[in-house]
Amino acid sequence: MHRVVGGLIAGLLLLAAPLAMAAESPAEQISGFRLKHGEGRVVRDATLDRIAMAQARAMAEKDDLSHDALGPFNKRVAPAGAGRAAENIAYGYDNFEKTLGQWIDSSGHRKNLLLHDASRVGIASAKNASGKRTYWAMVIAGDYEPKRGKGKKDTEPLVAVKRETAPASKPKSSNCHIKLLGLCI
């Protein structure tokens, strides 16, 4: 009797395992992939979700898979305040697991999923007018600037956000006569 009950429980656990995996949120699925490859977890971010949703909707409205459907990525992602960010887009699958698999199998998309020091992610999908095609957008970001101290606006970055496509800024003038190991003398 104990063997029968034990066997039934083991069988139910095996059946439940795929269901538990399917129940993982997109951020948990991305985090699981990242952890397997030496990178940290990511959490959903409302600002990145809005950026991804705007992109997914723009692609669906135009029925066109394009990173520029709503304008240049660096301008669209600027409100997130991240130092580094990447975007993956896709169409075709109705569920995130299959879309994630498609990205994992593509070297460029895989590189974005493994963006070093990323901590936040936004994910969205939208259907085209016919409802037959689902467009996906994912924005992953990291290198966020710390918040300012008391009396300062929390929304202002301490320094300009670094972007790979941004031109190098001019060095600020300083009253330093000698700069040694970051100390001004």
Residue 181 has pLDDT above 60, yes or no: no
* Residue positions counted in the chain: 185
What total of structural domains would you count in the chain? 1
Residue 99: name the closest of 33, 182, 16, 17 by CA.
Answer: 33
The answer to the question of residue 18 being in a domain is: no
Q: Which domain holds residue 49?
A: 26-142
Q: What's residue 48's pLDDT? A: 97
The answer to the question of residue 93 being in a domain is: yes
The answer to the question of residue 180 being in a domain is: no
> pLDDT, tens digit, for every residue of 133-168?
999 999 999 988 765 444 433 332 222 222 222 223
Q: Quick one: pLDDT band at residue 50, thresholds 50, 70, 90?
A: very high
Contact indicator for 124, 140 with CB cutoff of 8 Å: no
Residue 55: name the closest of 35, 69, 40 by CA.
Answer: 69
Higher pLDDT, 10 or 118: 118
> pLDDT, tens digit, for every residue of 116-126?
999 999 999 99
Q: 5-9, 34-38, 114-118 — which is least confidently predicted?
A: 5-9
Q: What's residue 146's pLDDT? A: 62
The answer to the question of residue 11 being in a domain is: no
Residue 12 has pLDDT above 80, yes or no: no
Give me the chain's average pLDDT, please.
Answer: 76
Apex CA 137: angle with CA 85 and CA 31, to 5°? 65
Beta bridge mates, 121? 44, 140
> pLDDT, tens digit, for every residue of 61-114?
999 999 999 999 999 999 999 999 999 999 989 999 999 999 999 999 999 999
Domain CATH for 135: 3.40.33.10
Q: Quick one: pLDDT band at residue 130, thresholds 50, 70, 90?
A: very high
